[in-house]
Amino acid sequence: MNRPLTSELISQLHSGALTARQLVESSLNRISELNGTLNAFVAVDAEGALTRADEIDQKRKSGKPLGRLAGLPMGVKDNMCTLGMPTTCGSRMLQNFRPPYDAHVIERLKAEDAIIVGKLNQDEFAMGSSTETSIFGPSRNPWNTACTAGGSSGGSAVAVSSGMVPLALGSDTGGSIRQPASFCGVTGMKPTYGRVSRYGLVAYASSLDQIGPLAGDAEGAALLLECIAGHDKRDSTSLPLERPAWTTELSQPLKGLRIGIADEYFTEGLDAEVEQSVREALKVFEAAGAVVKPVSLPHSKYAVATYYLIACSEASSNLARYDGIHYGHRADKFTDLVDLYCQSRGEGFGEEVKRRIMLGTYALSAGYYDAYYLKALKVRRRIREDFDQAFASVDVIAGPVAPTAAFRLGEKLNDPLAMYLGDIYTISTNLAGLPGISVPCGFTSAKLPIGLQLQAPILEESRLLRLAHQFQQTTNWHRETPA
């Protein structure tokens, strides 16, 4: 069975073969049928979605101008502020929080007449690679419910893969869009840092976080990215750039495009089936006229250590605001102000979040700052320089998204190092601020999806989307649907 792609649904809405209400009802029915097993949505606004669908249908009948996402149901990761809906970040700390405003990306979606059906499951405060740290329990992979959906945007990938919604938003701090997209067999993109405003995104690591699209194919991802990208003066890191028309560039020829292959991405620990699928995908590009050549990223071996020092340090600072005073969880029993802080934070945060706060606090502490955090910043610069040198001779870099396909739930939960090492191929993209995309490129013998990762220089999302789109014109991996 093939799930309908975004472009097909838009065509049916335009032609009148489908109404927004019918599409939203179908989405809600699918959620009702599957969410009890897959646990993708943690909050659903059925009444609000149907009301909005009726408004859009009426708008279409009256001939009024419509947004580019008019009538499409969408899910949003639960770390993006939504007016009138909960935003919990998968944490007890924010279990009852309802933001008084919309995030910038939510404003953009509403302006384009998208219909936000609900909020999607994630690792607590986006800290995890399996969605197992969520207070709502783990999302399950629709291809095998005994396996993880990936993380931290696991719910977003599951919702698209299982056909609950055609589009979803996730956030990517070290691979949190691309890895679940790979595990669930959908297309997921992390844009250039600053391409999409972080206003209203609950911060994990501010120099690494970036919002991006998940869709059934590259065309859907390009459309959604066009709708949410662009400058926002409320985010000081938002790039003052107009939104490019990526959807109009998808079919530009690939002839002569240079694809780099880094030896560092094909080393010990990479599953043989994953490597074979990635190498087979490269042959598709070569057949389309692209040139594949080797490049080197020598400092990538330090990426995991560098990332976890920087990300945890920033998390330690960002999460200091949750003190039991202003908002969020507040302990019922405490003796004094310090005890209120301790009890509220101890009860409100889960084990993985506490672990990362403590790691970050230690790295920033007097006497250790130079040895850890400052050194990590210097290595981060070296990692960026590796990419700069590689992109002097190639246009994109290709490789696997993760060392393996989806692993079993519980397999790595008590082994943080093993979990962290699963991000080895994705975190460099965030450290360097680059755009990256995950594209379905095959399956393991156990019928679990495999993703191909493509990375490009800063602001070159067009190259990634073109490659992904044309790969999907000659392959059908993205059209495969879990039973």
Catalytic residue (one of 27, 77, 316, 438): 77
Do the beta carbons of residue 465 and residue 218 sit within 8 Å?
yes
190: annotated active-site residue: no
Alpha-carbon distance of 3 to 469, in angstroms, equals 17
Two tokens, residue 124? 């607590």
The pairing of strands 211-215 and 291-295 is: unpaired
Q: Is 39 left (phi over 0), alpha (psi -120 to 50) or beta?
A: left
Residue 89's Cβ-count burial label (10 Å; 0-12, 13-18, 19+) is buried
How many C-beta atoms lie closer than 10 Å to residue 245's C-beta? 10
| Secondary structure of residue 239 in the 3-state scheme | coil
Taking alpha carbons only, the member of 71, 203, 210, 216 closest to residue 157 is 216
| Phi, psi (degrees; rounded to nearest 5) at 421 | -70, -15
Taking alpha carbons only, the member of 108, 241, 113 closest to residue 169 is 108
DSSP 339-380: HHHHHHHHHHS-HHHHHHHHHHHHHHSTTTTIIIIIHHHHHH
Catalytic residue (one of 130, 134, 139, 152): 152
Catalytic residue (one of 27, 161, 171, 176): 176
**Angle, vertex CA 303, rays to CA 441 and CA 420, nearest 5:** 70
What dihedral angle (degrees, nearest 10) is formed by the CA atoms of 50, 53, 57, 63? 150
- Token match 């997209």: residue? 181
Q: Which residues does 51 contact at the CB level (< 8 Å), separation at least 6?
A: none
Alpha-carbon distance of 274 to 258, in angstroms, equals 22
333: annotated active-site residue: no
161: annotated active-site residue: no
Do the beta carbons of residue 315 and residue 360 sit within 8 Å?
yes
Which residues are bridge partners to 120 per DSSP?
A: 41, 77
Do the beta carbons of residue 60 and residue 66 sit within 8 Å?
yes
Alpha-carbon distance of 285 to 288, in angstroms, equals 5
**ω into 152 cis (within 30 of 0):** yes
Q: Which residues does 363 contact at the CB level (< 8 Å), separation at least 6?
A: 309, 312, 313, 316, 369, 372, 373, 376
> Which residues carry out catalysis?
77, 152, 176
